């Protein structure tokens, strides 16, 4: 690693207090505690740490979970240092009864959970709130499942009806700000079930569906001659840059170029 890097911010997602990206070539931090759950992945290197008097290692495989109120430290194990991504969760995001399980086995070896965590971190970095809310629900559900001993999943409500009702609510006004927790409450299901049901029925998660609807609206407004900044503001995107990022992902061109190409000479 060329140099030490630390970047932190607080996202606008209920249940998450802070996101931290850090890369250290050689660093040891003293024993301390947090009032939050600490969930992290290691992208490079190895972190040695003590937790409640026992030695552990956070490595590139899996997801590491450190519970609130439990003393831990950390250190570089070798000359290459380490790079990690951390999300701090409000104490109520996971049940207090899971603290002991996290102390006993803080490393969760689950590739799909790690992939979801990385996706959550990316969504938080890009300020994709709906995607982050969706992935946060799946990540916390996965952590609970592992820390509680992998219990048999309870029977879930009908998938098709949940998916169709969710789509109806999203289609009612695709441009309005929406939280999946509110949609799930209205239907009477959990957010993880809503996400799974929608993805199973329609082939993509609800946040991607909603972005697609917003892009359809944006394309029509652009071809009608509206300025890209105004289009972004009226179709549910944060700003013009947010619209442009999704536009390029879909069509490999910028909104302004798309608009100019659609004009008749």
The reply to whether 134 and 230 lie within a common domain is no
pLDDT on residue 159: 86
In terms of residue numbers, what domain contains 183?
A: 159-203
Are 130 and 34 found together in one domain? yes
Q: Length of the chain, please?
A: 265
Same domain, 250 and 172: no
Q: What is the pLDDT along the chain (265 residues), one digit of tens a residue?
A: 567 899 999 999 999 999 999 999 888 989 999 999 999 999 999 999 999 999 999 989 999 999 999 999 999 988 789 999 999 999 999 999 999 999 999 999 999 999 999 999 999 999 999 999 999 999 999 999 999 987 766 677 778 999 999 999 999 999 999 999 999 999 999 999 999 999 999 999 999 999 999 999 999 999 999 999 999 999 999 999 999 999 999 999 999 999 988 654 4
Residues 126, 86 within the same domain = yes
Kindly report the pTM of this predicted structure: 0.91
- Rounded to an integer, what distance in angstroms lies between the CA atom of residue 114 and that of residue 108? 9
Is there a single domain that holds both residue 35 and residue 48? Answer: yes
CATH number at residue 15: 2.60.120.10
Together in a domain, 27 and 76: yes
Tell me: do 256 and 219 sit in the same domain: yes
Q: Say if 153 falls within a structural domain.
A: no
Q: Hey, what are 128's tokens?
A: 């994709």
User: Are both 234 and 104 inside the same structural domain?
Assistant: no
CATH number of the domain bearing residue 216: 1.10.10.60
DSSP collapsed to 3 states, the chain: CCCCEEEEECCCCCCEEEEEEEEECCCEEEEECCCCEEEEEEEEECEEEEECCEEEEECCCCEEEECCCCCEEEEECCCCCEEEEEEEECHHHCCHHHHHHHHHCCEECCHHHHHHHHHHHHHHHCCCHHHHHHHHHHHHHHHHHHHCCCCCCCCCCCHHHHHHHHHHHHHHCCCCCCCHHHHHHHHCCCHHHHHHHHHHHHCCCHHHHHHHHHHHHHHHHHHCCCCHHHHHHHCCCCCHHHHHHHHHHHHCCCHHHHHHHCCCC
Q: What is the pLDDT of residue 263?
A: 59
Q: Are residues 26 and 97 in the same domain?
A: yes
């Amino acid at each position: 690693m060329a140099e030490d890097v630390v970047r932190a911010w607080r996202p606008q997602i209920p249940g998450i207090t802070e996101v931290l990206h850090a890369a250290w070539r050689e660093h040891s931090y003293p024993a301390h505690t947090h009032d939050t759950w600490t969930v992290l992945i290691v992208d490079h290197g190895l972190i040695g740490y003590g937790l409640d008097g026992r030695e552990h290692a956070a490595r590139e495989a899996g997801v590491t979970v450190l519970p609130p109120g439990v003393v831990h430290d950390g250190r570089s194990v070798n000359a290459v240092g380490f790079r990690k991504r951390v999300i701090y969760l409000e104490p109520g995001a996971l049940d207090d009864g899971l603290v002991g399980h996290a102390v006993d086995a803080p490393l969760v070896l689950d590739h799909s959970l790690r992939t979801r965590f990385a996706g959550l971190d990316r969504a938080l970095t890009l300020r994709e709130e709906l995607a982050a809310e969706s992935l946060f629900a799946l990540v916390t559900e996965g952590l609970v499942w592992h820390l509680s001993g992998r219990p048999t999943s309870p029977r879930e409500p009908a998938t098709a009806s949940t998916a169709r009702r969710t789509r109806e609510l999203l289609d009612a006004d695709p441009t309005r700000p929406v939280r999946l927790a509110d949609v799930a409450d209205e239907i009477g299901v959990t957010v993880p079930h809503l996400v799974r049901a929608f993805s199973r029925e329609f082939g993509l998660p609800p946040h991607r569906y909603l972005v697609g609807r917003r892009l359809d609206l944006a394309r029509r407004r652009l071809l009608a001659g509206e300025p890209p900044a105004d289009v972004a503001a009226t179709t549910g995107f944060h700003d013009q840059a947010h619209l442009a990022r999704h536009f390029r992902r879909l069509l490999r061109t910028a909104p302004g170029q798309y608009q100019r190409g659609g004009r008749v000479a």
